[in-house]
Structure formats: structure tokens, C-alpha cells
Structure 1
Amino acid sequence: MSIVRANGLSVHVEQLRPPEVVSGVPGDGPTAVLIHGLATDNLASWYLSMAHPLAAAGLRVIMYDLRGHGKTERPPAGYTLDHFVDDLAALLAVLDVTGPVHLLGNSFGGTIAISYAARHPEQVAAIAAVESSPPTAAWFERVAKRLAAAAAQLPHEHVLARISAERGERASRRARTARDVLVTTSLAHDLPASRLPAEERIAAIRCPALWVYGGSSAVVELAPDVQRLLPHARIVTVPGQRHSILIDQPDTVGDIVLSWLRQDCGLQSGPVHAATGRDGRDQPPSPTTLY
């Protein structure tokens, strides 16, 4: 575990380096930054799904806990979209990442990724988003409703007890994590008040882009916004999957992302399958996301 100071915060960061056999030089090669979702999530969702396959394919992999999440510092206020984008920019500077990066975002992490690209297009080589949307008013309205409902319900013990009884202890732990974030920070207030990038700034993004959706997720309804703003983006829908597709089907998501990286982004690597890219040990499931 590594803690670095970025944008005035103590930020939890994990990194994986590509093996020498893939990249030629240990640690050499393109950089992928993996960004998780809100409230119930942390960097573990990427670490236990795509991080090792990406490193095995030749990328330097950087994961970090967003402000207020996981082991990163939790300030009481400061949770607009600009705060999250500023954190990412500061983190890359602290880690001395100078070349264009591949940004991968799960849920709201994808929104952070494309918002960073709208601000720093020259610093982004490609964007892959899972169950996400560009920063549109429609997406922020959905996120705001989910956050408001969770902030109103989760502080009540009887709600947590019902979640535990109906959905199991794992879901209860996720709910308690979300409660802690929402009760101790201004996230539910700040994020809906965010200043959104102008749509023309988003439409000006020209790097390769991939969006992956679960066919049974409500978020797939926002795919037309991706098509409208980023007509060059590749959109893949996996039938029968829900918002938690990254956790439920990591090998499927991994195969889609790695294939896209090779075909659309020119990644030069051997055929690394997501199922074999990790260390082979049984891993506990990671949290899913509120958004």
C-alpha cells in the first residue's frame, strides 16, 4: 500500500508493473489509470478484476481510492466533479506520469475519466468506461437521485437490518460503507451542484473510446448520449448483465477491453486472457457501486 499527497489529500494508490517478457523493459510501456465508482466502491473492484490482466498485457497500472473512499483521506466537503478531476490531475503529476494515459472508469469513474479528457485532451490516449456516461445533466440527475435516496435511508439501522436480511451480509457491508461516506461528507450535496464541462468540449475528444454496458442495467438507457457526443466510440452491450458487470463478469469485461486495446489503440502484447492474467488464487468479491 502506498499513500501519496496529491491536491492536499492523502491518497491511497496501488500500482502494478508489466512483466519484462511483455514490455521488454521492466515497468516500461503505456500507463492505465483505473478509476472506481461512488460510495460503496474502492480500488479493489479494479484490483480484483482487470488490474492484473492489464499489467500482463504490458501496461503500467495505477489504481487509487477516490477522495472520501477506501483508504484515501475523507474531507468533510469538496466533492464536486471538478474536485475529482483535480485529484486525478494532481495524482498523475505526483507519480510523474507524463505521457498520454489510458483511462478506465467504472460507473462514475468513467465520468471522471472523460471529464479529465475534456480538460486535458493531450494527456489521454484512450478511454474505456464500464456502466458509465459522459457528464450530462441526465446522468447527474440519476446520480443525484440515487445519492439522495441512500443518504435518507441508510442512516437508519432498520434499513440496514432489512438489507442484511433480504440481500445478505455482503450487501449490508456495502450499505454501511455508503452510509459512512454519505453521513460524514457533503458528497450527496456537492456532486449534483457540479459544474459540467461544455458538451462541445466532450465532443472534441478524439481519442479511442469504449463503453461497456449490461443489457439489463438502467444505465444502458444513456448510451444514446455517448453516441451523440462521441460518435466514434465503440459501444458494447452484454445481454443479461446489470450495473455490477465488472464484478459479476470480470473475464467478459476483460476480454472486451483487451481486444479493444489491441484493435483500436494499437496495444502490442501477447494473448492474455482475463481469467489467466491474475495470479490464479481465489479472491473475495469486491464491492459493487452505488454510482
Structure 2
Amino acid sequence: MATVHTGELRLHVQRMGPRDGRTPVATVVLVHGLLTDSLASYYFTVAPAFAATGLDVVMYDLRGHGRSERPPSGYTLDHNIDDLEAMLERLGVHGPVHLVGNSYGGTIAFGFAARHPGRTASLTLIESEPATAQWAAKLRGILDRVVRELAHNETDAIAWITANRGHNTARLARGAARLARETTLGRDIPSSRVLTEHQIRAVRCPVLGVYGGDSDLVGTKPMKEALLPDFRSVVVPGHEHSVLVEAAGTVGGHILSLIHSAAGTAPAGAVPAAAVAR
């Protein structure tokens, strides 16, 4: 475990590289989602396979999540993009990186790519979308419900989750309730500055969208196809928002194909046979 101080707060960071000590062919940064998520969703799924193919893998807990510091305020999208920038600076990662973001982590990754198109080699959005006015309205509804049902009625909500989703999900929900109750996250994220169409179009690196076939985010594909010059997508049938964890082999194979293609390298290890679909 490593702790990186951004100048404002401490972030919990984990890093994996090729086991044989060879020089990595590229750096991939994995950004997780909101509330119940942490870097563990990558650590126990795709990260080891990525490192085995010759990649330098960086993953971290977002502010307020996992083992990172939890300030009482400062949770806008720009705060999270600033954290990503500062973390890479402290780690000495200055060249273009391959960004992978799950859910809200994809929105952070896209925001970084819009700020720094020259520092983004490729971008994967797993069940995610750029920050638009529609995104902000949707997040406001989701977070209002979290605050109302979890933070202000935690006992009944946790009892229902335990009975219907199990003890591990209930444990994660308790952490989400504390984060929603003790910080301004629920207000900050929906009030974040969103991207203009021009800023979205400025992301010209290869972009991969990965969706569960039963997810409503499949409906965001046309916007990305219209605005992004190098966008391709994969839909994994039979899955919803948790496609990263539920279909890690398939999702990881598509991401590795994109990264190694963009880097112009052949993966050192075996890559699942799924081909990236345009």
C-alpha cells in the first residue's frame, strides 16, 4: 500500500507492473466509481491481467473512498480531476497514459482527457459518460435518493439491503451512507462544471465505450459516436451496470486490445479473444 499526498489530501494508491521486472510498455490508470466502489473493483478483476501483459497499472481510491482521506467538502468533478493530475505528478508519470474509468470514474477520466488531450493515449468508459447537463441532472436524482434513503433512514435501508443483497453489499452501503451523511459529496457532484460540446469534441484519442446489454447507458452511444472522432463500443449481453465485475474477462480483453493497439505493442501475456467492435 502507498499513500500519495496531492498537496491537499492523502490518496491511497496501488501500482502493479510486469512480474519479471521488464520495462512496462505503457501506463494505464484505473479510476473507480462512486460511493460503494474503490480500487478493489480493479485489483481483484482486471489489474493483474493488465500488468501481466507488460503494463504499468496505477489505481487509487478517490477522495472520501476506500483508504483515501475523507475531507468534509470538495467533491466536485473538478476536485477529482485535480486529484488525478496531482497523483500522476507525484508518481512521476508525465507521458501520455491510458485511462480506464468505471461509472463516475469514467466521467473523471473523460474530464482529464478533455483538459489534457496530449496526455491521454486512450480512454475507456465502462458504463460511463462525459459530464453534460443531462448527466448532472441524473446524478442529482441518484444522490438525492442516496441521501434520503441511506443517510437519513440508514437503519431501515441497511436492513433491506442485508436481506436482499447480502452482508457484503450492506457493509459497502454503510460506508456510502457515512460518506453521503458526513460530506458535501451529494451536493457537490451535481453542481459540477459540465463540458461543452467543443470540449467533448477535443478528445481525439481512441475511446472505447463498454456497456452492459441491459443498461440504460447504451442509449448514450449515439452522442459519443457523433462527437468523438475515434469512438468504438462493446455491448456485453445479459449484464447491467456491474459489467466490470461480472464479466471481467470479456471487459478486460476489450480494454487490452485497445491499449496495445494504441500503444503499437503486442501484449506479453494472453489476451481474451474478444475483438474490439466498432
Deviation at 1:271, TM superposition (A): 4.4
What TM-score, normalized to structure 2?
0.93
Give, as a single letter, the amino acid of the residue that structure 1 aligns with 2:252.
Answer: G
Moved more, 89-98 or 138-147: 138-147
Equivalent residue of 1:37, what SS?
A: coil
Partner of 1:250: 248
Q: 1:182 to 1:255 in 2, by over 3 A?
A: same
Aligned residue in 2 for 1:142: 138
CA RMSD of aligned residues (A): 1.6
Matched, 1:10 2:4: no
Alignment of 1:114-263 (within 5 A): 114-155=110-151, 156=153, 157-263=155-261
The equivalent residue for 1:96 is 92
Q: Taking structure 1 as reference, are residues 7 and 274 closer, same or farther at Cα in structure 2, changes over 3 Å only?
A: farther
Q: Which moved more, 1:250-259 or 1:94-103?
A: 250-259
Looking at structure 2, the residues matched to 113 and 167 of structure 1 have their Cα atoms a distance apart, in angstroms, of 30
Go from structure 1 to structure 2 and tell me whether the alpha carbon gap of 1:143 and 1:265 turns closer, same or farther (over 3 Å shift). Answer: farther
- Partner AA of 1:224 in structure 2: P
SS at match of 1:41: coil
Moved more, 207-216 or 220-229: 220-229
Q: Does the aligned pair in 1 maintain the 2:98–2:259 contact within 8 Å?
A: no
Instruction: List gaps (5 residues or longer) in structure 2.
Output: 274-278
| Contact 1:18/1:58, CA 8 A, preserved across alignment | yes
The separation in 2 between residues aligned to 1:229 and 1:203, in whole angstroms, is 5
State the Cα distance separating 1:18 from its structure 2 match: 1.7
Aligned pairs, how many? 271
Deviation at 1:274, TM superposition (A): 6.0
Q: CA deviation at 1:166?
A: 1.8
Shift, 1:170, TM fit? 2.1
CA shift, 1:259, in A, is 2.1
Matched AA of 1:126: S
Identity of aligned residues (%): 45
With CA pairs under 8 Å and 6+ residues apart, which has the higher RCO, 1 or 2? 1
| CA distance in structure 1 between the partners assigned to 2:181 and 2:270 by the alignment | 42
Match of 2:105 among 105, 109, 116: 109
C-alpha contact 1:7 1:91 (8 A) present in aligned 2? no
- 1-structure distance, mates of 2:25, 2:253: 20
Q: Which residue of 56, 69, 81 corresponds with 1:85?
A: 81
Asked if residue 19 in structure 1 is aligned to residue 19 in structure 2, the reply is yes
Aligned partners of 2:132, 2:227: CA distance in 1, in Å?
A: 10
Take 1:7 and 1:57, find their aligned partners in 2: how far apart are those partners? 33
What do residues 26-67 of structure 1 show as CA deviations (whole Å, max 9, x unaligned)? Answer: 343211000000011000001111111111111100000000
Distance 1:267 1:216 in 2: 33
1:265 CA displacement:
4.3
Deviations 1:70-92 (A, max 9, x none): 00000000011100000000000
Q: CA deviation at 1:174?
A: 2.0
CA distance in 1, matches of 2:264, 2:16: 21
Please tell me whether the aligned partners of residues 65 and 71 of structure 1 are also in contact (alpha carbons under 8 angstroms): yes
Q: Is the 8 A contact 1:246 1:253 kept in 2?
A: yes
Q: Which runs of 5+ in 1 are unaligned?
A: 276-291
Specify the alignment match of 1:289 in structure 2: none
What is aligned with 1:286? none
